[in-house]
Amino acid sequence: MTQVPFAEGLFTWPADEPRLIGSRCPDCGVTTFPAQSSCPGCPSEKMDEVLLERRGTLWTFTTQEFRPKAPYKGPEDPDTDWQPYGVGYVDLGNAIRVESRLTESDPAKLHIGMEMELRIVPFGTDEEGNELVNFAFAPVQSDN
């Protein structure tokens, strides 16, 4: 099955070490994700594409315990396909804080300040039978 991003322009794919695609204003230095064509921090209408760091720090998190309402896209049968998931903000260096789905949904296994790493995860299938993939952040496993 061919894997395709659920939306274009969010992350590099295919890639051995995928990265989120953001933008940075050459005039004031504001970084955005997703990439934008104009700066939200100043009147500049030019933005440079930047690849964001793969690793960051969990700033805060919660868990999504119920199926979201429209325009949610995901498994259709809430009784058999849908599972709770973690959602958090991840600081990527000094550049930006990104909202993301987390690969871990157990709050006991998450803590503010833990190191996180970008992953590409299954999201569903499209009409052509391709596997749709999305980005998420996973806790970095320590070597202890």
pLDDT of residue 79: 59
Kind plus residue range of the DSSP H or E element containing 91: strand 85-92
| Interval 44-70 mean pLDDT | 91
- As a whole-number percent, the residues of the chain with pLDDT over 90 amount to 74
Q: pTM for this one?
A: 0.87
Q: Band of the pLDDT at 72, cuts 50, 70, 90?
A: low
**Where do the domains of the chain lie?**
3-138
Lowest mean pLDDT among 1-5, 13-17, 41-45, 73-77: 73-77
CB 28 within 8 A of CB 44: yes
Give the pLDDT confidence score for residue 76 in this predicted structure.
Answer: 58
Residue-wise pLDDT for 73-119, tens only, equals 655 555 566 788 899 999 998 889 999 999 999 999 999 999 999 99
